[in-house]
Amino acid sequence: MNMERVFVAFARELELDRALAWYFIIIFFVCARFHRAFAMKHARFHRLCGVVHVCALCARAWMPHASARARATAEDGALALSGVALTASAYVDFAKAHARARPNKASGTLHPKATVTGEEMLEHLYYQVVNAAQAGYLHACDTETFARGSFAFRCAMCALVTMPWMFRGYFPTHSFRANYDDGAKDVESMLYRLKKWQYVLYKTVLLHGLNVSMVFASGEQLALVRTPGFRTFWLCLNAAYVLEFFLQTLVKRKYIRQRTMLALNQTLMVISSYAVLPILRAVAIPAATTCFVMCFANRKREMQNVFTAIAVVAAVREMRLALYFH
């Protein structure tokens, strides 16, 4: 029975990887067909960063999953650095040019007439840094130092990866809700609703919840970052951070149609949602539940919320041990 479950899980991962590979084949051919978008003289450094990041995403999608620690670290480091460089260069090259555009009250670029403002670029840069910080933390968990570290040391590492949230107030904030507050029920509004709840679940479960869970992990759980399921999920997450902006740029340049962009966004959302399933096994239910509740009950106090979740998980574990030995 156990072997049957393993076979089914493996088959599902192969199907997901195949779908993701085909998705990036389409993205690659779109880029190749409209290579003029990368060859213009204006903002050449940003366009070069775009080529590097897209190539890094496509290479990750087509290559076998990394099982070696060094290769996995190199791959994630390349994605993190190229993602941060791409977003930072966008702000440097386009923020002033887009300053005359009407500020967006909402977050997102699904509307064909939306213009990415400098504030949105800064907000996006912040989340790229958060993304890179979690990658570093999860790779640190996959070391002997972390495995043998004390509970206090692990809590300190978790606090370190949560520190960027102490500076969240220094970056612009845009709301997904503002995109559908008018009650519209078209495809665009539906996607924004989905994106809003994807973000909430990402932040509470896959970010804070996963970080807290790793404090209590042991054995093979600490090598989560090298598992096939996580490698696929991490690729989807990095792609989601960038492709919405890139595809909207192609629409603005009239390289692709609005409906094509929406279809590509919907496809990535479906694949990303499916890729999350293996990661949920690594998240402690008390950690995820506490982070989710605290996200609404104690807003904008991420460090407090994370340590509350750590305390709850520790208390639940102690209760289970007491019941077991009773």
pLDDT of residue 287: 95
Question: Can you say how many angstroms the Cα of residue 265 is from the centroid of all Cα atoms in its chain?
Answer: 15
Distance (Å, whole) CA 25 – CA 270? 17
Q: What are phi and psi of 59, to 5 degrees?
A: -60, -45
What is the C-alpha to C-alpha distance for residues 130 and 162, in angstroms, rounded to an integer? Answer: 8
| pLDDT confidence band for 8 (50 / 70 / 90) | very low
- Which of 161-165, 244-248, 304-308 shows the lowest mean pLDDT across its residues? 244-248
Q: How many CA atoms lie within 13 A of 236 on its CB side?
A: 28
User: Shortest CA distance to 158 belongs to which of 170, 144, 140?
Assistant: 140
179: left (phi over 0), alpha (psi -120 to 50) or beta: alpha
Percent of the chain with pLDDT over 70: 83
Q: Tokens 């609703």 sit at which residue?
A: 193
Residue of higher predicted confidence among 5 and 220: 220
Q: What pLDDT, on a 0 to 100 scale, did the predictor assign at position 2?
A: 45
| pLDDT-wise least confident of 75-79, 159-163, 244-248 | 244-248
User: pTM score, two decimals?
Assistant: 0.84
Q: Write down the mean pLDDT value for the chain.
A: 82
| Residues 82/52, Cβ–Cβ less than 8 Å | yes
Give residue 101's pLDDT.
55
Asked if pLDDT for residue 318 goes beyond 90, the answer is no
Does the pLDDT of residue 292 top 50, yes or no? yes
> What pLDDT score was predicted for residue 245?
80
Residue 218 has pLDDT above 80, yes or no: yes
Q: What pLDDT, on the 0 to 100 scale, is given for residue 7?
A: 38
| Range name among 204-213, 235-244, 252-261 with the lowest pLDDT average | 252-261
Contact assessment for residue 82 and residue 104, using Cβ atoms and an 8 Å cutoff: no
Q: Which of 205, 224, 218 is nearest to 69 (CA)?
A: 224
Output the six-digit token pair for 274.
């499916």
Q: How confident is the model at residue 6 (pLDDT cuts 50, 70, 90)?
A: very low
Residue 179 has pLDDT above 70, yes or no: no
Grade residue 182 by pLDDT with cuts at 50, 70 and 90: low
- pLDDT score, position 177: 66
Mean pLDDT along residues 290-319: 93
- For residues 6 and 1, give the distance between their C-alpha atoms in angstroms, rounded to a whole number: 9
Domain definitions of the chain by residue range: 94-325
Does residue 319 carry a pLDDT above 90? no
| Number of Cβ atoms within 10 Å of the Cβ of 136 | 16
Mean pLDDT, range 106-119, rounded to an integer = 65
Q: What residues have CB less than 8 Å from 208, skipping those under 6 apart?
A: 162, 287, 291, 302, 305, 306, 309
Q: What is the pLDDT of residues 22-81, one digit of tens each?
A: 888 888 887 777 777 677 777 788 888 888 888 888 888 888 787 788 999 999 999 999
Express each pLDDT in 121-143 by its tens digit.
888 899 999 999 999 999 999 99
| Residue 197 pLDDT grade (very low, low, confident, very high; cuts 50, 70, 90) | confident
Whether residue 272 has pLDDT greater than 90: no
* pLDDT bucket at 12, cuts 50 / 70 / 90: low
